[in-house]
């Protein structure tokens, strides 16, 4: 007889308002397939006895490589026409954490964050310092053009036309939704991997952070979060994703959390840590703590989005206060389950 916990991984790819009207079955299937592939990869790490930290790192790395989501290759543009990427990881076993922000040349920011966790005397590195640290520890750097995609560039142009900053994936289908036939179309010659279908979640009301939480066979939890930020954001803006306690947190004694939403509000509420704190100090369940943060506390300051969380007993919570959230869960020995809508 064994008392080993049932290992599990959960992921998210952003939350927002649903737009089923313009969605084709094929487009929706692409999102489900991407989520399933990522879950399966994390599930394999756990099944092979890997750590929760390894599982969440691999899951977020794959989400960063998928242009459907606003992280890594699918990152949105700043007001300066550049990309600034943020990521964080935290190990619930040791409370070790690592994060990077405002990096422009790191192919996989989550790997840079992992390097900070393992080798850095600090927790958070920024910009050129983060890139130099990553390179010194074998993390791949790329030309900034690697992150360019026509779909995200079109979003940026539309955001500039609107003269506003749009949250994460904002603008991908703005022209279609407002019937603007003169808006630039994605070139038919562009590789399919860099074109976006109509998104199940409204790109104009979308929070595009990605993240993962996991519990391994040894009873340890971990979390990782990554994002490209906000379309047309001011250069240097940093949201909650790389901030431990706001967009990412993990502690074996309570839970692991990765958040997605209006970053400034999650920072002000210290949302990820609040879930853990309620478990520790109020004695409530993971589900109750996560629900309170997302459905009660964040809305007080107009905070929109959601989070995923897992505790050391294998309980999982995936609350969100928007109409939809890209999400999925996979336990060892079970088929991954993915969802978009409520």
Query: Any idea which residues carry the catalytic annotation?
Result: 209
Query: Does the annotation list 260 as a binding residue?
Result: yes
Residue pointed to by tokens 């309170």: 292
List phi, psi (to 5°) of 52: -60, -35
262 is in an annotated binding site: yes
Query: Helix 52-65 vs helix 109-119: angle between axes, to the nearest 10 degrees?
Result: 150
Give the single-character DSSP code of 211.
E
- Is 237 within any annotated ligand binding site? yes
161 labeled part of a ligand binding site: no
Helix, strand or coil, per DSSP, at residue 126: strand
Strands 255-261 vs 85-91: parallel, antiparallel or unpaired: unpaired
Locate 269 and state its tokens: 């509420």
Task: Say if residues 231 and 159 touch (Cβ distance below 8 Å).
Answer: yes
Residue 263 marked as a ligand binder: yes
Spatial CA neighbour of 312 closest among 41, 5, 34, 43: 5
Residue 107's nearest CA partner among 83, 136, 77, 72 is 72
* 240 belongs to an annotated ligand binding site: yes
What φ, ψ does residue 18 adopt, rounded to 5°?
-80, 140
Question: Are 141 and 135 contacting, i.e. CB atoms less than 8 angstroms apart?
Answer: yes
Residue 99 to residues 70, 83, 231, Cα–Cα distance (Å) = 17, 17, 21
Q: What is each CA distance from 243 to 27, 240, 252, in whole angstroms? A: 33, 5, 19
Q: How far apart are CA 285 and CA 183, in angstroms?
A: 49
End-to-end CA distance of the chain: 38
Annotated binding site: 237-240, 260-263
Q: Point out the annotated binding site for substrate.
A: 237-240, 260-263
């Amino acid at each position: 007889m064994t008392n080993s916990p049932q290992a599990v991984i959960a992921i998210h790819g952003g939350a927002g308002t649903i737009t089923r009207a313009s969605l084709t079955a094929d487009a929706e299937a692409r999102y489900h397939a991407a989520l399933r592939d990522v879950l399966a990869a994390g599930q394999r790490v756990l099944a092979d006895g890997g750590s929760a930290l390894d599982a969440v790192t691999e899951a977020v790395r794959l989400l960063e490589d998928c242009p459907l989501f606003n992280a890594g290759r699918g990152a949105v543009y700043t007001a300066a026409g550049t990309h600034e990427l943020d990521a964080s990881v935290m190990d619930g076993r040791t409370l070790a954490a690592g994060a990077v922000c405002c990096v422009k040349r790191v192919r996989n920011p989550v790997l840079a964050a992992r390097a900070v966790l393992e080798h850095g005397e600090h927790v958070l590195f920024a910009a050129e310092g983060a890139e130099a640290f990553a390179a010194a520890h074998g993390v791949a750097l790329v030309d900034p053009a690697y992150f360019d995609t026509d779909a995200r560039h079109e979003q940026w142009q539309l955001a500039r036309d609107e003269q506003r900053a749009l949250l994460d994936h904002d603008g991908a289908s703005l022209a279609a939704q407002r019937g603007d036939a003169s808006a630039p179309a994605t070139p038919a010659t562009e590789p399919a991997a860099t074109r976006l279908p109509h998104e199940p979640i409204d790109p104009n009301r979308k929070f595009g952070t990605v993240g993962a939480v996991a519990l391994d066979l040894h009873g340890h939890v971990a979390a990782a979060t990554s994002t490209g930020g906000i379309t047309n954001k001011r250069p240097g803006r940093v949201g909650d994703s790389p901030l431990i306690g706001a967009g990412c947190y993990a502690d074996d004694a309570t839970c692991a959390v990765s958040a997605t939403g209006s970053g400034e509000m999650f920072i002000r509420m210290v949302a990820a840590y609040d879930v853990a704190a309620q478990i520790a100090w109020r004695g409530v369940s993971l589900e109750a703590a996560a629900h309170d943060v997302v459905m009660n506390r964040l809305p007080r300051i107009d905070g929109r989005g959601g989070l995923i969380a897992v505790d050391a007993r294998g309980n999982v919570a995936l609350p969100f206060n928007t109409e939809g959230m890209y999400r999925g869960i996979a336990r060892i020995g079970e088929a991954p389950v993915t969802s978009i809508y409520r």
